[in-house]
Structure 1
């Protein structure tokens, strides 16, 4: 992640006032900006794969959407989620039950594979979307897919939604 890519992100990004989608506005104001959903004190263990900010954002999303089933390719994630959140983590993609959240830190599959496990009430999180390499390539493939209706970049992570009731839109949130 370079200073140049971060500067470009800042020039494109906005806060909640630049969002014209009710779903995304609520997600930004009641989840991402909500300091009561998760605090640094709740973080169980530091991890070399996620920053403190990324951990907090992940916990906020799990709680905001009441996530119970998570697919992840990052084995350290099981150490980060407090037991009180009652989440089931799986390292294998499965259709029973379909995961509510897919958290990708080290992509090994094609974008179409991840999208095939998504439904209207799921979210796909790609970590480090501005990092050169597979994460950035996967992010570009995902946002260009016709299945994706909303994608949000918060620089350190990207969020993919497939919402039948929403037109295709891109958001860059500070």
Structure 2
């Protein structure tokens, strides 16, 4: 119910490119978010999703985050997880387009799950290096095997608690950081602040499920108002955060 009410409110305030005056964000909306190109990667993402939907595999899940609103058992079927705990078709395509648009090379993902987000990021650029972190060893190992079958070799899988893994990251900065795990206000803010040192002027942070709960929405408002953040684009299911010092501080709600 909270998500439904939040979505209705979002629709009342959201706009399209005509409500955007910043040239940078206008281009981002029209050339990236509204890009209608038929990319080969979309078919690959579709095939992978369909394979997972027809999988008979069951995983013993150790969920370090807030868990699923639908799946409560620790033993979960892959076919159910793909429908409830992974990036949707639309989200995967938006993630792919964003990483492709910014020609991102160094990419980090928090929350691998079944790899829909990581796969989209890996396909965005042949020269990219994707690092994805998953708290559950069984889920991480399963997805790692899928990527081996898919011949995806530009992705590194790290397993463990985010607070333990993040300080060990060797990259000085990332072009894209996708936050898709531990749907909790305090944890989301903690990871955001701990990864600010990994952001440069061109970095984009992508947040998933900002309206998953009241706490997550509060975390999103905190992030928007942070002194390091200049521009945000709220697409309801995904939020984009920019740190460009040449930009005036603005916040946009865009329908996609």
TM-score normalised over the length of structure 1: 0.89
CA contact (8 A) 2:232 2:250 kept: yes
Q: Among residues 103, 108, 128, which one is paired with 2:209 in the alignment?
A: 128
2:196 aligned counterpart, secondary structure: helix
1:45 aligned counterpart, secondary structure: helix
Rate the CA distance shift 1:106–1:136 in 2: closer, same or farther, 3 A. Answer: farther
Q: Which runs of 5+ in 2 are unaligned?
A: 50-81, 134-164
Equivalent residue, structure 2, for 1:85:
125
How many Å separate the matches in 2 of 1:79 and 1:10?
30
| 1:40 CA displacement | 3.6
| 1:137 CA displacement | 3.7
2:90 aligned counterpart, secondary structure: helix
Alignment of 1:1-12 (within 5 A): 2-12=3-13
How many Å separate the matches in 2 of 1:171 and 1:78?
26
How many Å separate the matches in 2 of 1:133 and 1:116?
27
2:111 aligned counterpart, secondary structure: coil
Q: Which moved more, 1:126-135 or 1:3-12?
A: 126-135
| 1:80 CA displacement | 3.8
How many Å separate the matches in 2 of 1:147 and 1:123?
12
The RMSD of aligned alpha carbons is 2.1
Q: Among residues 75, 97, 103, which one is paired with 2:178 in the alignment?
A: 103
CA contact (8 A) 2:96 2:124 kept: no
| 1:45 CA displacement | 2.1
CA contact (8 A) 1:70 1:89 kept: yes
| 1:102 CA displacement | 0.5
Q: Which moved more, 1:114-123 or 1:4-13?
A: 114-123
How many Å separate the matches in 2 of 1:117 and 1:37?
32
| 1:85 CA displacement | 2.2
Q: Which runs of 5+ in 1 are unaligned?
A: none
How many Å separate the matches in 2 of 1:4 and 1:133?
11
| 1:37 CA displacement | 6.5
Rate the CA distance shift 1:21–1:120 in 2: closer, same or farther, 3 A. Answer: same
Higher share of residues assigned helix: 2
2:201 aligned counterpart, secondary structure: coil
Rate the CA distance shift 1:37–1:145 in 2: closer, same or farther, 3 A. Answer: farther
CA contact (8 A) 1:31 1:37 kept: no
**Total equivalences in the alignment:** 174
CA contact (8 A) 1:129 1:136 kept: yes
Equivalent residue, structure 1, for 2:37:
36
Q: Which moved more, 1:146-155 or 1:39-48?
A: 39-48
1:22 pairs with 2:36: no
